[in-house]
Structure 1
Amino acid sequence: MKIIDKETIDTVLKYDNLIEALRQVFQSTFTMPVRHHHFYQNTEGIENTLILMPSWTDTYIGIKQVVVAPGNHSKNLPAIHALYTLLDAVTGEFLAQMDAAGLTSRRTACTSALAASYLAREDSKTLLIVGGGKVAQHLAQAHSVVRQYDQILIWTRNASKGADVVSSLQQIGFSKMLYADNLEEAVRRADVISCATLSHEPLVKGEWIKAGTHLDLIGSHTPKTREVDDMAILKSSIFVDSRAGAIHETGELAIPIASGILDPNSIKGDIKELCCGEIKGRSSLKEITLFKSAGLAIEDLAAALLVYEHVILSAHV
């Protein structure tokens, strides 16, 4: 069994290739059971989440094991720790294990970009990223593959952290990066808004969102947390990565469904239906679209296979 480190993953997973790999896997046949969520209180009284995410095709099985620890920000540690295991579906042989934190961040950002390729206006010029974690840096790069932005804004609660994100992206060639110190003003300007936070309460208000905007919501990962308010939900045409996950696992949709604000039957479709052309994406320039991502195990398998196949090919050169 091969052990694949984070450095290899970061080198191999190019944004354009991963976006296309995700598109292809959503167009293929696969099996993806509902993932297992287990919530537990750690010794500090903070609720952590253990997530087990299996998926498979005719040839490969993948399993991701994740712990989400929101309190890690105070320890200068990542909020997400994860390990990915790849197996041969025919023999059951363990083929590889790899650090899944970087894998998760990149596939999450690239899935958002893939959805935006169907849902964001083609003339979108301003991207706003809300959040300053690892995913935020990948979001700027992934979304820039599918749309040509004149300006990319970053907003974080901690201005210093946001400035660091801007600086790091500028250093790798993203000269159009700017820190936004006023969230409302940034939302009102943005054509695409991508939120990747651990916020428990809505940050983005529907009254701020202009016609034609695309909302990409990543951060809400429990039924108790959300990043936008009810008005944003009411104004939007809603798409999801999967109905089973997004409706029940995320407060973004579970809370307004429980209160009667949102009818789950009004959800337009999922990412597989978009990729297969079974449903239409954006229908007008003024439509506000919303993509809610809970994260899918098949996305991890697509990313892991890109890495594994590169390692195997490199070993035979």
Structure 2
Amino acid sequence: MIVIDAPAVERLLSWPALVGAIGDMFAAGCVAPARHHHPFDIPGEDAGTLLLMPAWAPGAFLGVKIVTVVPANGTRGLPAIAGTYLLSSAGTGETRAVIDGASLTAWRTAAASALASKHLSRPESEDLVIVGTGALSARLAAAHASVRPIRRIRVWGRSAEKAAAAADRIRADGLEAEAITDLEAAVRSADIVSCATLSRAPLVLGDWLKPGAHLDLVGAFNPGMRESDDAAVTRSSLFVDTREGALHEAGDLIQPIRAGLIGPEAIAADLRELCLGLHPGRRRADEITLFKSVGASLEDLAAAVLVYERFKAAENPSA
């Protein structure tokens, strides 16, 4: 068994390879049982969440990710998400690697958004707005820029200081970025809007989205959270990472479904259908598209296998 820490994950992964690996895994398929989702009480603050996410490709690899989400960690100067990935042989059950889960999750989450963007955003998209200032903000900027010719990136957060820090991290990756305070004005001109927050109230309004915009919703991972309003949902063509996950956990879709504004059939396609060409993705230049992800264990498995295989190749370059 090998241990692959966060710096090694950072060293081994690249956006084109990871986006491709996740797309290949969606097309090929794997066994991905529903994830276990357990709240745990934390005295004096919002509850945390424990997630257990298994997946396996028969005869190849089997993995499970153990994740905790603690919303109040921001007040402690700690990331909201922590986790570990355990990768095993699906033939013998032997453990192959223990991989840093937080870094793996950040990479695969942003890569899934980039994969969706390849199918849903306009190919000429240049203007990106990032909503949220957490660890995912720079990842999402880099991932979207790997599949579209992004020239302008603006970052908005409730804290101007944190937005500035997030813009600094994006610039450190060699991309142009600035912090902003007027979210509405930014969204109205954006080609792509990518949100990664723990918001319980809409941040991006549908009336702000211009024709042809693509809205990428990454945060709001349970039914009580949402980052977009009803107008954004009803104005858009809707896509998800997995239907089962979205219909059980995505507040941005569950809340308008419960209100009778849309039905489950409003979801045009999931990533598997897009990757297999069963749905063409964007149909018109003026179409507004919305992609909602809640995370899929398939994505974790694809990322973990890529990390493991690259680690082994680096250990034995002549093999």
TM-score range with shorter-chain normalisation? Answer: over 0.9
Match runs of 1:253-272 below 5 Å: 253-272=253-272
- For the residue of structure 2 that corresponds to 1:202, the secondary structure is coil
Q: What amino acid does structure 1 have at the position aligned with 2:177?
A: M
Percent sequence identity is 44
CA distance in 1, matches of 2:173, 2:183: 25
Say whether the 8 Å CA contact 2:142–2:173 is kept in structure 1.
no
2:133 aligned residue:
132
Kindly report which structure 2 residues correspond to 1:31-180, keeping only aligned pairs within 5 A, or say none: 31-58=31-58, 59-174=60-175, 176-180=176-180
For 1:172 and 1:86, the matched residues in 2 are separated by 29
Shift of 1:114: 0.5
Residues 111-138 of structure 1, C-alpha deviation per residue, up to 9 Å, x if partnerless? 0000000000112120111001111110
Q: Which amino acid aligns with 1:35?
A: R
| Shift, 1:313, TM fit | 1.6
Partner of 2:203: 203
Deviation at 1:178, TM superposition (A): 1.6
Q: What is aligned with 1:4?
A: 4
Amino acid at match of 2:200: H
Once the 2 structures are TM-superposed, how far is the Cα of residue 71 of structure 1 from its aligned partner? 0.7
The answer on whether the counterparts of 2:222 and 2:251 sit within 8 Å (CA) in structure 1 is yes
**Tell me, what secondary structure is at the counterpart of 1:85?**
strand
Give, as a single letter, the amino acid of the residue that structure 2 aligns with 1:81: A
Pairwise CA distance, 1:52: 0.5
Q: Across the two proteins, how many residue pairs are aligned to each other?
A: 316
- Residue of structure 2 equivalent to 1:183: 183
Equivalent position amino acid for 1:65 in 2: I
Q: CA deviation at 1:27?
A: 1.3
Match of residue 29 from structure 1: 29
| Distance in 2 of aligned mates of 1:52 and 1:105 | 16
What is the deviation of 1:172? 3.0
Query: Equivalents in 1 of 2:128, 2:21: separation in Å?
Result: 24
The amino acid across from 1:132 in the alignment is: T
Say which is worse superposed, 279-288 or 307-316, in terms of deviation. 307-316
What whole-Å deviation, never above 9, does each CA across 1:129-148 have from its counterpart, x for those lacking one?
Answer: 10011111101111011100
Question: 45-54 or 194-203: which moved more?
Answer: 45-54
Residue 207 of structure 1 and its aligned partner are, at CA, apart by 1.1
Secondary structure of residue in 2 paired with 1:268: strand
Residue 114 of structure 1 aligns to a residue in which SS?
helix
Q: Any unmatched runs of 5+ in structure 1?
A: none
SS of 1:129's partner is: strand
Q: Distance in 1 between matches of 2:268 and 2:241?
A: 11
- In 2, distance between residues paired with 1:146 and 1:279? 19
Q: Is the 8 A contact 2:3 2:98 kept in 1?
A: yes
CA contact (8 A) 2:117 2:147 kept: yes
Partners of 2:45 and 2:72 within 8 A in 1: no
Contact 2:193–2:216 (8 Å) recurs in 1: yes
What is the match of residue 221 of structure 2?
Answer: 221
| Cα-to-partner distance string for 1:179-237 (whole Å, 9 max, x where unaligned) | 12100001101010000001111001111111110000000111100000001111000
**What is the rounded CA distance, in whole Å, between the counterparts of 1:150 and 1:316 in structure 2?**
39
Amino acid at match of 1:150: R
2:6 aligned partner, one-letter code: K
C-alpha distance in structure 2 between counterparts of 1:171 and 1:35, whole Å = 35
Q: Which runs of 5+ in 2 are unaligned?
A: none
- How far off is 1:149 after superposition? 1.4
* CA distance, structure 1, for counterparts of residue 90 and residue 151 of structure 2: 45
1:15 maps onto 2:50 in alignment: no
Secondary structure at the counterpart of residue 67 of structure 1: strand
Q: Which residue of 1 aligns with 2:273?
A: 273
> Shift of residue 169 of structure 1?
2.1
Length-normalised TM-score, structure 2: 0.97
- Per the TM alignment, residue 316 of structure 1 is displaced from its structure 2 partner at its CA by 2.0
2:247 alignment partner AA: I
1:45 CA drift (Å): 3.5
How far apart are the structure 1 equivalents of 2:68 and 2:254? 22
Tell me, in whole angstroms, the C-alpha distance in 2 between the residues paired with 1:91 and 1:171. 43
Q: Which moved more, 1:41-50 or 1:150-159?
A: 41-50
Q: 2:299, 2:41 → 1: CA distance?
A: 28
What is the Cα deviation at residue 57 of structure 1?
0.2
Instruction: Return the letter of the residue paired with 2:198.
Output: L
